[in-house]
Amino acid sequence: MSQTDPTIRKLEPEALRQVCSADFFEAQTQEPCRATGIIGQKRAVRSVQFGLEVPSPGYNIFITGVTGTGKSTYARAAVNAKAKDRETPADWCYLYNFSEPESPKAISLPPGQGVVFRDDMKEFVEDARTAITHEFEGGDYEKQRAQIAEKFQKGINRTFEELEKEVRSKGFALQRSSGGFAPVPLDDEGNPITAEDFAKLDEEKRREIESKGTEIQRDIRSAMREVRQYEKETKSAIRELEKRMGSFAIRPLIEQLQEKYEGFPDIQEYLENVHEDIIGQLERFKTGEDEGPQAQGAQLQLALLGGGSQDDQFKRYQVNLFVNHAETQGAPAVEETNPTYYNLFGKMEYQATMGQMSTDHTMIRPGAVHLANGGYLILRAEDVLMNALSWDALKRSLKGNQIRIENIGEQYRLVPTATIKPEPIPLDVKVILIGSPLIYHLLYAYDPDFAKYFKVKADFDTQMDRNEDYLNQYCRFVQAVVEREQLLPFESSAIAAIVDHGSRLTEDQKKLSARFNEVVEIVYESDAWARFDDAESVTSDHVEKAVEEKIYRSSMIEDHTREAISRGKILVSTEGKAIGQVNGLSVISVGNYAFGRPSRITANTYLGNAGVVNIERQVKLSGTSHSKGVLILSGYLAEQFAHDKPLSVSASITFEQTYGGVDGDSASSAELYALLSSLSGVPLKQSIAVTGSVNQKGELQPIGGVNYKIEGFYYTCKARGLTGDQGVLIPKQNVDNLMLNQEVITAVENGDFHIWAADDIRTGIELMTGVPTGEKDEEGQYPEDTVFGKVDRELRRMAETLRHFGRKSKDEQENTGDSSTTEE
């Protein structure tokens, strides 16, 4: 390897971690805490503010991002701040619909007036009962009623007297029975003629009596019609008297309410309907009792249709204060954490009435959409989608701009049942959905209505730039948490350690983590460890202790893996050299914990035309990215060595002792090193582990999890014994991703461990073998004592050998054919 080659370098300790100076935060920790709100989310904040400002339909907001980035916290803060500046929406009430009892009527009132109207109607009913009772218990009502009865009784008496006179004149008398009146013939002395006497009469006399009897029957029927007309007129006159006196009693009360609610046409109409209904239901107000079985049946039917309850005959005059904004300041901001269908869109409750389930307008209950109407509604997308019918009903409401209350059961009954159908309420709400990127993209791809109703996307990032402004905000954020939760004060060194941990979470020296849940966890746990030490403040040592303990609690599988490597159960070499064998590095994720693990990668090459065979792919353990990385190796070999000969080689590559899936292309450079070593016969250093992907031109490309991988190999070497020759080779693009723990940095400082950065395969293989790769001469040949020269010579040998065997096989076939012909 050339000593002057600038494409590979050994990294110094200061390049392995971006360390924040405690002096930077010294002044800030002495100042009072000033909360800064959300940090480092300019794009998301701008999107949310835009969505909240636009009043047009469809500009609802979908806030997306991974868990812990402050989506919900910011949504609440932004919505509450905006809601304070908006006008408070109207109250909504449901009233009994006198013309259509099955369709309760919805009316709106200025905020705070709904409760006033409800109380006014309650007081009105009590006053009306008192006034009507007083009016009908007075002597004037009884006197007028008696006069009407007397008047019509005289007419009835006169009718019966005239009928009696007419009957007598025809020689008959009237006999009253349960069936009415019956004419009875009389003899000359005025006595009733019996049946036996009637039978003794001659035929002519009998016919005469029967004829007169028929005439009298007609007279009786005519008289009874007059009597029934008198009774009807009597009842009508009494009803008119009662209506007149009832109206006289309640009209002043009605007019008082109409004057108070003069500017509300719906209430004016409702009060007129109340007046007419009370006049038609005076018996309830006079006695408080039903009129009989027919009245009970009618009342039950009304109860089932929302007209009242058997237990409360005056419920139809009650006001259901459906949405009350008397105490609301500005627009409502509602967050529904359990968005079931009923919790969102309200419901109609039922109660047992005379053996049947009944409901009415007073039993209609609001949902979160009603309570947020005129303001803002915050929902978690996953919860909405998991609750049956909620998502479809939400879209339907947004589409129609109205909220309709329907019980779920009505949609699944085979036989429709009588129930109420409340009048829909106009909808004006801004919906803020919070969900993961996966849910957003699934809805966008598979729900054609989603993009129409959620036009604003606010995407919360997981990281932010590590600049002075955000460092200051990070400090204030930590201080705000300390003050809010009454934690021990954090020294400047502790805040610096928190900042460094934030960069560690992003695996980037130039970034800070925006996953504030994880940052806050370390703040809480650092405080706990400081209290265990009886310290008066939190220092960097407590922060480091919190991080170490958090790792320890989740690292059982990692410890078992290291133990298996130390005991030789998992074969990994950390010393010596081997042909076609290299230490690759992978990241194992277990829930919320990840760690690096070295794996032995081996390559064998032999005659054939199969190319590079990925064993993991053959047994379906290889992911698409890993399979692509292996296929790229053939492209690189062809680019370097197949311009003057065919690439006639078969090779097998595998991750040894891996029994689960393998994915990602970060091991493609290690696989290529093993392949070149196998072809050239030059051994690779087992003290160096390799990570990095490679393209067909041989350029190394950055990978993820570089810190986990380096630390994983370091601890493996530490368990086996550090020799001073061990280390890790990484792509140079990953240098600014290094945020290694202090133990590894110390080992590098002491020369016990090393980290190299390279930008292509040539420099990497030179480090791994200690042999130069070589450059082509004018004839396109590599020097024989170089890695590429040995590879080229081996590939040429394989091609010639394969061609020789191919020619020999062809000759044998031809000879076999000639022999057959001769024998014939």
The vertex-469 CA angle with 463 and 471, nearest 5°, equals 60
Q: How far apart are CA 211 and CA 757, in angstroms?
A: 135
Instruction: For 726, list phi and psi in degrees, rounded to 5.
Output: -85, 155
Q: Are 489 and 48 contacting, i.e. CB atoms less than 8 angstroms apart?
A: no
The secondary structure element, H or E, covering residue 223 is: helix 203-260
Eight-class DSSP state of 67: T
Exposure string (b/e) for 441-456, b if CB count within 10 Å is 16 or more?
Answer: eebeeeeeebeebbbb
Q: Checking DSSP bridges between strand 593-606 and strand 754-758, what pairing results, if any?
A: unpaired
Quote the CA–CA distance of 315 and 325 in Å, as a whole number. 23
**Which residue among 492, 599, 666, 693 is the active-site one?**
666
Query: Strand runs (DSSP E) across 180-339, as ranges?
Result: 180-185, 320-323, 333-335
Q: Identify the DSSP state of 37.
A: -
Catalytic residue, chosen from 71, 82, 430, 709, is 709
Question: Residue 34: helix, strand or coil by DSSP?
Answer: coil
- Cβ atoms within 10 Å of 116's Cβ, excluding its own: 16
d(CA 118, CA 780): 98
Backbone angles phi, psi at 469, to 5 degrees: -60, -50
Percent helix, strand and coil across the chain, each rounded to 5?
A: 50, 15, 30
Angstrom distance (rounded) from CA 16 to CA 501: 14
Q: Are strands 8-10 and 172-177 parallel, antiparallel or unpaired?
A: unpaired
Is 666 among the residues known to form the active site?
Answer: yes
Using left for φ > 0, alpha for ψ between -120 and 50, and beta otherwise, residue 620 falls in left
Residue where the block lists tokens 């070589």: 774
Q: State the Cα–Cα distance between residues 333 and 408, nearest whole angstrom.
A: 26
End-to-end Cα, the chain, rounded Å: 67
Report in angstroms the alpha-carbon separations of 349 from 138, 345, 407, 423.
42, 13, 9, 16
Active site residue 709: yes
Location of structure tokens 């036989």:
415
CB-count burial class (<10 Å; 0-12, 13-18, 19+) for 243: middle
Q: What is the DSSP string of 241-282?
A: HHHHHHHHHHHHHHHHHHHHTTT-HHHHHHHHHHHHHHHHTH
Angle at 311 between CA 308 and CA 312, to 5 degrees: 50
Please give the DSSP secondary-structure letter assigned to residue 753.
S
Distance CA 237, CA 147 (A): 11
Specify burial of residue 744 (Cβ count, 10 A radius: 0-12, 13-18, 19+): buried
Question: Per the structure block, which two tokens stand in for 768?
Answer: 């791994």
Burial 619-645 (b: 16+ CB within 10 A, else e): eebbeeebbebbebbbebbeebbbeee
* CA dist list (Å): 641 to 283, 513, 820: 109, 45, 43
**535 exposed, middle or buried (CB, 10 Å; 0-12, 13-18, 19+)?**
middle
What's the farthest any 2 CA atoms get from each other in the chain? 165
The encoded tokens of residue 70 equal 């402050």
Report which DSSP code applies to 186.
B
For residue 243, which of 139, 141, 101, 127 has the smallest C-alpha distance? 141
Q: Please list the alpha-helical segments (H only) found in 373-490.
A: 381-386, 390-400, 437-446, 450-453, 468-485
Catalytic residues: 666, 709
